[in-house]
Structure 1
């Protein structure tokens, strides 16, 4: 196996060395591609030192050396990757020694196009734990049981009940299959949840198989300056960012002729539930009344959605 590990780097000078060295412990890792995204801290210098120290570490920046967000940064990493397999690792996270145990066996079967595993959590400080424990607790981010690849996409979008989640840090993909079947890769206009949108589409087009689900193969590092968690908890209502995500998925589903109609309807209803949740009160009542009459399951979908209930009034 020749695995390219893609790591976007932003505001992670304290953590990127640990991330890189956790990937380099595996002989299967052919290269670690660092893409520095105009960090406000000293991360660029740390990355330069890592590239100088380790032959397998390659450092890139955007052509204008500007800040373009995680989606564009991962896309640049994909463009530069030359391994047969692609894995991702955020700069403040790290791999565990069992990260590629399942991959080494399962990828012997050519029909396996991707493998996902379980993600653990580590709080870098007590302050970080105090800030973000309500979001992550001490739980594994995982899929709760092994599923056939055809069930992964409907499971992720909420059509299979209690399915669970997997993180991009725990995903390994055949590079050729991704290039052949998925276009574009990450949606660059989404500043948040672009990884979730990518995973949704990826699980529709590629056959993804379960790896290790009952224990972590990688760790999410949580600190006071986590960009995504800071937005989720402090600056923007989660329903606002989720609405942008589901609108994107709904637009894609409408344009993809191979998606079954019942799946399209479910996606439309999820998008609609967030629209109702965020509408002004007078408009909200009108939308609820309309859909009670014309499409009651849209309301029912919303009532099962925690953000819908939280921001209903």
Structure 2
């Protein structure tokens, strides 16, 4: 196996060395592609030092050396990748020694196009733990049992409430399948949830298989400055970004001829549900009254979604 690990780097001076060295422990890792995204801290200099120290570490910036976001940075990393398989690693996260154990066996089967596993959580400080323990606890982010690849898309959409989740940090993809079936890769106009939208499409087009689900293969690093923890903790209002996410998924699903009708209806309902949640007070309840009378199914999916209920009520 030749695995290209893609890492967008922004404001990660304190963490990037640990991330890189956690990937270097694996002989299967062919290269680590760092895409520095105009960090305001000293991350660029740290990346330069790592690239000089380790032959497998390759450093890139965007053409204008500007800030373009994690999605655009991952896309650039995908363009530069020369390995047969693609893995991702956020700059403040790190791999554990069992990261590619399942992949080494599963990818012997040419029908396996991707493998997903579980990730754990590491709190860098007690303050970070105090702020975010209610979000992540000490739990695994995982899919709760092994599913057939045909069930993964429905599970990712939330149509199977007991499915669970997997993270991009615990995902490995056969590059030939990615190049052939997924274009564009990350949609850069989404400032949040780019990876979520990518995983929706990925799980529709590719046959994804479960790897290690009962143990972490990587750890999510949690600190006070994580953007996603600010969203999850309520410091940043998530509803607008969720509307944009589901609108993007809806637009894609409506142009994909083979999306099953039930999945398409669910996607439309989720988009409509978050639109309601993000509306002004009077408009919100007017929309709810309308759909309760004329189209209850339009908001039913949203009412079963915990994030929607939190935003609504």
- Normalised by the length of structure 1, the TM-score is 0.98
The answer on whether the counterparts of 2:269 and 2:300 sit within 8 Å (CA) in structure 1 is: no
Residue in structure 1 matched with residue 50 of structure 2 by the alignment: 50
User: Could you list the per-position Cα deviations for residues 122-168 of structure 1 after superposition, in whole angstroms to 9, with x for gaps in the alignment?
Assistant: 00000111111122111100000000000000011011121100000
Alpha-carbon shift at residue 234 of structure 1 (Å): 4.7
2 CA distance for matches of 1:6 and 1:61?
A: 13
Contact 1:102–1:211 under 8 Å retained in 2: yes
Question: Who is 1:141 aligned against?
Answer: 141
CA distance in 2, matches of 1:4, 1:303: 40
Render the CA deviation track for 1:234-278: whole Å, top value 9, x for unaligned.
543222221111111111111111101111000000111111111
The answer to whether the 8 Å contact 2:5/2:87 transfers is yes
In the alignment, what sits opposite 1:91? 91
Is the CA contact (8 Å cut-off) linking 2:35 and 2:74 kept in structure 1? Answer: yes
Matches within 5 A, 1:145-294: 145-294=145-294
CA contact (8 A) 2:23 2:32 kept: yes
Deviation at 1:287, TM superposition (A): 0.9
Indicate the larger mover: 127-136 or 44-53. 127-136
- Partner of 1:307 in structure 2? 307
Secondary structure of the 2:233 match is helix
Question: Which deviates the most, 119-128 or 156-165?
Answer: 156-165
Task: Note the C-alpha offset of 1:11.
Answer: 0.6
Q: CA deviation at 1:36?
A: 0.2
Alpha-carbon shift at residue 226 of structure 1 (Å)? 1.1
CA distance in 2, matches of 1:76, 1:311: 34
Is the CA contact (8 Å cut-off) linking 1:6 and 1:87 kept in structure 2? yes
Task: Provide the residue aligned with 1:105 in structure 2.
Answer: 105
- Root-mean-square deviation over aligned CA pairs: 1.0
CA drift of 1:308 comes to: 2.4
1:311 partner SS: helix
Gaps (5+ residues) in structure 2?
none
Q: 1: CA distance between counterparts of 2:136 and 2:298?
A: 28
Measured after TM superposition, the shift of residue 117 of structure 1 is 0.2
Count of residues in correspondence between the two structures:
313
* Structure 1 contact 277–307 (Cα < 8 Å) conserved: no
